Amino acid sequence: MQETEQEKECELRRLEECIEAHPDDPSLRFELGVLLWEEWDTKEKAAEQFVIAAKLKPEIEKGGAFRYLGIYYAGLDSQSHSQRALKCFQKAVSLNPDDSLSGEALCDLLDQQGKESLEVAVCREASQKSPRAFWAFQRLGYLLLHQNKCSEAVHSLQHAIRGYPTSPHLWEALGLAYQRLGRFTAALKSYGRAIELEGTRIFALLESGNIFLMLGSFRQGVEAFQQALEISPKSVSAHYGLASGLLCLAKECNNLGAYRWGATVLEEASKVAWMCTQLAGNMSSIWKLHGDIQLTYAKCYPWMEEDHSLEFDVEAFDNSILSWKRTCCLAAKTARCSYQRALHLSPWQANIYADIAVTSDLVDSFDNSPGHELSAWQPSEKMALGALLLEGDNSEFWVALGCLSDHNALKQHALIRGLHLNVSLAVAWAYLGKLYRKQGEKQFARQAFDCARSIDPSLALPWAGMSADFHARESAAGEAYESCLRAVQILPLAEFQMGLAKLALGSGNLSSSQVFGAIRQAMQRAPHYPECHNLTGLVYEAQSNYRSAAASYRLARYAITNLPGSDRKSHMTDISINLARSLSRAGNALDALQECEDLKKEGLLDVEGLQIYAFSLWQLGKTELALSVARNLAVSVSTMEQTSAAASVVFICRFLYHISGLDSAINSILKMPKQLFQSSKISFIVSAIHALDRSNRLESVVSSSRYYLKSHEEITGMHFLIALGKLIKHGSEHRLGYQSGIDHLRKALHMYPNSSLLRNLLGYLLLCSEEWNDTHIATRCCDIDATNPSKGGLKSAYEILGAGAVACYAVGNCSPKFSYPTCTCQCLNEPGAIQQLQKCLRREPWNQNIRYLLVLNLLQKAREERFPCHLCIILERLISVALSDEVYHNTGMSYEYKKFQLLLCASEICLQGGNLTSCINRAKNASSIMLPDDCLFFAHLLLLRAYALECDTVNLQKEYIRCLELKTDHHIGWICLKFIEYRYELQSDLDILESSFKECSKERMNSWNRWRALFILVQGLISIWSQDIISAEQFFAQACSLAGDESSLLLCHGATCMELSRQGCSQFLSLAVRSLTKAQKGPLIPLPIVSALLAQAAGSLGSKEKWEKNLRLEWPTWPQEMRPAELFFQMHLLARQLKASSASRIEFCQSPEKWVLRAIHTNPSCMRYWKVLQKLVE
């Protein structure tokens, strides 16, 4: 410390000495001045030095001396000194325009003296002199902004920001300048930057909030205001902005019809606005805002239908309506109060009068205060007049008066005055149209609406008016609906929405979502109108939601009880019938019956009511009563109009059939007058009854009624029915007449080739008919590619494909891996069944039938691929879920059968996986299901196999006997049994098995030979196993003669003959060649081994060329991963026949050694290959 003091002393002394030496050196003087100013704080002495320095050389240190002097004088508090300071600073700035300190000080001084124009001039001069005089730009920008010269201000401020990029003030000012210029997005960006730099810029927050509201981004605006409120919780403008932002948001919600959402937002807004009134209760605009919020709340507060609406009783309903009305009314009254306060504060504002008028009107509508005297002025009218007295030339006030007045003449006058003032006022035209419509002057009304619509197409009222107009003309139901829909979309008003539902009823759009949404919204705003609930019920019914429909009708009935009016009773009847119908459809027969009986007591049961009555009685088991009601109905049929008569006749026919049976139904139909049957619906019913009747009593009625089938769908539907009828009529006791049904469908399909209904039925029948060759035709005739699965019909195309693929694995299996389908009728181009079923499952994951078929198909695939592990796991899982599905708890025959099949699948997989206990358990489970013996056979067959694997001879024998006892209609069962019988040497009479086999095949003549061939094949195989090759050959020859074109049989025969000729019976060689050649030509997918054997035979006969050719044919018949060692070895033989011309052939792709090596690699245990290799190497 001491030292620095000493240093300072030294420095001072040194400088003083220097000055003494050179008294005329200005820089030394300046240096001394600075030293005295900074270090010694003796400003007076310093100032002396600066004065001298400035005199000697004014431009020293770029006017630094003047700056110090300016500061010095400014510090001295007197008028003359400040003048002197001003001059010093001016000098300093003119010498160095970048000197922000002097510049700011100068401007401050000028500002103090109120010389604003001088200030601007100084800044402008400095800014022109140097682009780096940022202080000047900044100052200039602020000043220009202050003077409202915004576009210039923007330039200055932008320049200044380059100098001070982190100054939030500058950004804020720039934002304001942009805002005043109307460049809102730029303004938002600038404000955003300011807020970013300093989070507490409340001005920027408020202004950006205002801009957001102006631009319609209410949510962001609300956020900005909320942020502002956090910084300054007492800010009136933040409160005001937040409340108005929330109001705008709520209005947006309400325009969508989201009333509940709007109401919650408004509740919050109201709180905020109330806070605001507490902060500044003397501002009329705040009270007006509060009034606006409450008014909107009153207009949007929804009636909440509680979730358990079924439990509503009259009282609860009334109470809930009352409390809803009270809430709305309270809000409206609060709004009126707030408006009155606003008016009290600023009674010169005409629009508040109008607001009060509107609110009063709303309060009156909620209050239902009984009859004002017509002559007296109502408060709403009076207030509207008040607004007009203040601003008589405001057309909107005239419109308001026109709306609020009760006198038609005054209304018309007011609206026309409004139009005088502003001819393009769409609202006025619209209301004028409404007025004319009410007075019955349709021509004028339409003109007025057209005017309104052409001026402003986004106004809802003219659309609604037009819709009513269309409706009146009756010809254009669709147009009326469209217009009304537009009105509803523009403005979700309950009246429009109910109108929409009513129009939808007429034009058949009742199940459309728009109507549903509209009527549900209408219910929130007009719960006291019975028609609103009634329409809701109808919409629910159109969507098949009968429970909710019934609940709505009940509400409608509650609402109507409160309603005065003369036609109450007829409405009540209609609603009651609606209720009874939906109850009946919902399956609630008891309540439906109760409703009908109530109606009957009052004598109001009409045709529809009678039908419901009879139906409910029947459902409850009171058939006698039901029949008598039906008879009543029949009596009144003759007096009905066409459509309801048809419905009644259909009802009576079905009813009679169900209660008293076929004969009674036919008799009554024959008794009915012919002219009743002139409708397509009746035609269907009559035809269905006719189909069941074997004695064809209704022939004439049916043929005459079919004349009334018109549309494409109806005709194909009728063909469907006829085909089913033929099944019954041409069938025997136990079998349906499939062939005649199929024939009919084929003819019908020729006429209507794109009817998927007929196609699917044909496919189904072909599958059912169990003929050998029909499965692939069945799958081919159904149309899977249809984008939308058609409803109706017995089975879908997917189900037929799935079932067909189960029946014949070649269908839809485009790349068989391990099997060689030999039938000539395969359809290799068909889509894969497993994929198609998965596609279907993706569409309808709840469809158990498809899931079941997928399981069966996967099992087929697993069986082909020798039960690979991953497939078994999937199957296990799929089956366990399928079995746990509640569908299979049903006790229908088809469910039982599916369950049985699934259990067998599960059991089979366990068997393959070696899990014998659970295999046996499941098979036992399956065998305990109540099914015909025919099916149960297979459960026991599986048990048999399981016991065989377990070597449980006692049970084995038992199951075998059980199988023989049960018998089956399926040949394959007997064939399997035959196998097992031989394999495990089971004791029984051979004859039983064979005779049963012959017995079961009587029905299906077409395939009998094939089955017999198969059975003989098994016998042949058994002979081979017992080394009796001669008789085996005889069996095979017999089988081939029965089913001549079956390649696998021919292969067996050929191979056996080869074996025999090898043993020395050379006459068999030619037989072998014949069979094998046939087998080679037969199937689409060539069988392996056939060509190899043929080659061998040719070789034995000495034809080397044929040997080569056949051997070459053998190669591609094997899938790559399955080629046996012998094949490679044979190829080596071929390869050794080196020929130059045939170098491209397969056998020359590698050397003979390589072929042998590959053979050894595949089967290293064969000594023959090793020996050949040895020779080759040598």
Residues found near other proteins in the complex (CB under 8 A): 219, 253, 256-261, 264, 307, 310, 489, 511-514, 516-517, 520-521, 524, 543-545, 547-548, 787-788, 835, 838-839, 841-842, 845-846, 851, 870-871, 873-874, 877-878, 880-881, 884-887, 889
- Please give the Cα distance from 875 to 868 (Å, whole number): 11
Longest dimension (CA), the chain: 152
Residue 534 or 687: the one with the smaller Cβ distance to other proteins is 534
Closest approach of other proteins to the CB of residue 524, in Å? 8
Residue 65 or 485: the one with the smaller Cβ distance to other proteins is 485
Closest approach of other proteins to the CB of residue 499, in Å? 17
Residue 259 or 398: the one with the smaller Cβ distance to other proteins is 259
Closest approach of other proteins to the CB of residue 882, in Å? 8
Closest approach of other proteins to the CB of residue 927, in Å? 25
Q: What are the structure tokens assigned to 919, written together? A: 């295999």
Closest approach of other proteins to the CB of residue 817, in Å? 16
Residue 320 or 773: the one with the smaller Cβ distance to other proteins is 320
Residue type at 541?
A: E
**Integer distance in angstroms from the first to the last C-alpha of the chain?**
111
Closest approach of other proteins to the CB of residue 1006, in Å? 37
Residue 563 or 590: the one with the smaller Cβ distance to other proteins is 590
Closest approach of other proteins to the CB of residue 841, in Å? 6
Closest approach of other proteins to the CB of residue 220, in Å? 10
**Residues in Cβ contact with 669 at an 8 Å cutoff, skipping those fewer than 6 apart:** 653, 686, 689, 698, 701
Residue 138 or 836: the one with the smaller Cβ distance to other proteins is 836
Residue 78 or 513: the one with the smaller Cβ distance to other proteins is 513
Can you spell out the DSSP letters for 649-691? HHHHHHHHHHHHHHHHHHHHHHHS-GGGG-SHHHHHHHHHHHH
Contact 253, 265 (CB under 8 A): yes
Residue 873 or 893: the one with the smaller Cβ distance to other proteins is 873
Query: Which H helix or E strand runs over 156?
Result: helix 150-163
Signed CA dihedral, 1022, 1027, 1031, 1036: sign only: positive
Residue 813 or 1075: the one with the smaller Cβ distance to other proteins is 813
- Please give the Cα distance from 986 to 994 (Å, whole number): 15
Residue 791 or 1175: the one with the smaller Cβ distance to other proteins is 791
- Give the closest residue to 854 by CA, choosing from 871, 841, 863, 866: 841
Closest approach of other proteins to the CB of residue 869, in Å? 11
Place of tokens 């050894």: 1160
- Give the closest residue to 717 by CA, choosing from 656, 758, 751, 688: 758
Contact 940, 966 (CB under 8 A): yes
Residue 93 or 300: the one with the smaller Cβ distance to other proteins is 300
Closest approach of other proteins to the CB of residue 740, in Å? 36
- Please give the Cα distance from 780 to 788 (Å, whole number): 18
Closest approach of other proteins to the CB of residue 515, in Å? 9
Residue 235 or 536: the one with the smaller Cβ distance to other proteins is 536
Contact 1079, 1087 (CB under 8 A): yes
Closest approach of other proteins to the CB of residue 427, in Å? 23
- Give the closest residue to 644 by CA, choosing from 633, 631, 654: 633
**Residues in Cβ contact with 259 at an 8 Å cutoff, skipping those fewer than 6 apart:** 253, 300, 301, 302, 521, 524, 525
Residue 491 or 993: the one with the smaller Cβ distance to other proteins is 491
Closest approach of other proteins to the CB of residue 604, in Å? 30
Q: What are the structure tokens assigned to 506, written together? A: 């007429």
Can you spell out the DSSP letters for 724-760? HHHHHHT--SSS--HHHHHHHHHHHHHH-TT-HHHHH
Q: How far is CA 149 from the centre of its chain?
A: 56
Contact 913, 862 (CB under 8 A): no
- Give the closest residue to 763 by CA, choosing from 794, 734, 786, 719: 794
Closest approach of other proteins to the CB of residue 617, in Å? 23
Residue 151 or 880: the one with the smaller Cβ distance to other proteins is 880
Closest approach of other proteins to the CB of residue 544, in Å? 7
Closest approach of other proteins to the CB of residue 227, in Å? 18
- Please give the Cα distance from 717 to 555 (Å, whole number): 40
Q: What is the dihedral of CA 161, 165, 170, 173, to 10 degrees?
A: 80
The residue length of the chain stands at: 1178
507-530 as b/e: b if 16+ CB within 10 A: bebbebeebbbbbbbbbbbbbbbb
Closest approach of other proteins to the CB of residue 525, in Å? 11
- Please give the Cα distance from 1138 to 612 (Å, whole number): 92
Contact 310, 551 (CB under 8 A): yes
Q: How many CB atoms lie within 10 A of CB 1096?
A: 19
Place of tokens 């500061």: 71
Closest approach of other proteins to the CB of residue 832, in Å? 9
Residue 517 or 913: the one with the smaller Cβ distance to other proteins is 517
- Please give the Cα distance from 338 to 274 (Å, whole number): 10
- Please give the Cα distance from 449 to 428 (Å, whole number): 10
- Give the closest residue to 706 by CA, choosing from 679, 726, 675: 679
CA neighbours closer than 13 Å in the CB half-sphere of residue 385: 9
- Give the closest residue to 879 by CA, choosing from 910, 838, 844, 835: 910
Residue 248 or 258: the one with the smaller Cβ distance to other proteins is 258
Residue 876 or 1153: the one with the smaller Cβ distance to other proteins is 876
Residue 268 or 770: the one with the smaller Cβ distance to other proteins is 268
